[in-house]
Structure 1
Amino acid sequence: MNKDEILFECVKKDNQQALEQLFQKYYFNLCLYAKNYVGSSDLAEEVVADVFFKIWQNRKTLCITTSLKSYLYVATKNLAINVVHKTKVDVLKQQITDVNSNYSHLNTDETLRYNEVKIQIDQIIEALPPQRKIIFKLNRIDGLKYKEIADKLGISVSTVQKQMLEAIKYVSQFESQFITFIIFFCFSFIHV
């Protein structure tokens, strides 16, 4: 056993000092690595701290089959990518909120048209079979990746892929409603 493996075994036995030693050994380099993905030193530090927090939190059940160093780098990369993805989703949600707050400028005719198109789009999505609808919403509205959806629903990634393919085929039949909706918004906000 190398020193990292010994320290990790101590962590599994609730030894916080062993975790602190691993933290001190890898923290700086992992922060530099995470910064390549998240672009910010502060965010990189949060990512690395979360990686070690999760190790501590899952210490009793965590099984590392590679070297600890490899595990730390992969975990850091995955968490950094998730943070970037979540940030993009949050920005998109904020943009939607901003659009909705600007919605108040629309006149009565525009409001009615907006509501009609939105209802049509909601009906198209609601017409999907239950599991397909959930998968579609989790991916396209909540921004989850296929693997995250599979884990959340307890199904395989290939099932998620197949369901999304069918959902997209179905929804694309109604592409004109979606395009009308997008064009409507672009045109409305040009006049703001």
Structure 2
Amino acid sequence: MEGQIHSETKLILGLRNSEEPIFAMVYNTYKTKLYSFAWRFLKNKELSQEIVQETLISLWTSRHQLDPRYPLGPYLYTIARRLTLNALRNAATAGIAREKLWSDLNEAHNETEEAILLADLQEFTDQSVAKLPRQQQLVFKLSRYEGLNHDEIAAKLNISKNTVNNHLVEALKNLRQQFRESGISYSILIGWLLLK
């Protein structure tokens, strides 16, 4: 036991004197033990190896503060423990960040998908409206796009309110038929027109 203490004291004094062969000896003595310690918590080869490296680098950079009265092992395990806890904390934070990023990406994807769908629907509706007979097209646009009521359309086009109604009924019937033929639900058209 006394020989072990004497040997440990020699190691610490050698480190304090910046003796690289002593550091190599400490490295070889503790690397496997420190790796096993980190692995037990992290279950990750690369991270565990990083903990070993950082622990021993920390030992080397603070070698001048080492106290020969205290054993090296507990000192090294204290450093490794702190680094392992930091790695676990960072992994947990990264996991939360990864989940948030995934959620944001999905949300952005859904918004983009929705925007594309609306743009496609707009384009299809415009094409469908353009296929209507001229008067139906005019009445439909004044009603749905400009928000005019039947009386206002009748006055603007100098036609009867009844004629306006007939053109609208026919326009909607034609649009319903075009949407049915394309496989698009007519209720989507109505909902979309109500959003405009």
TM normalised by structure 2 equals 0.48
Of structures 1 and 2, the larger Rg is shown by 2
TM normalised by structure 1 equals 0.49
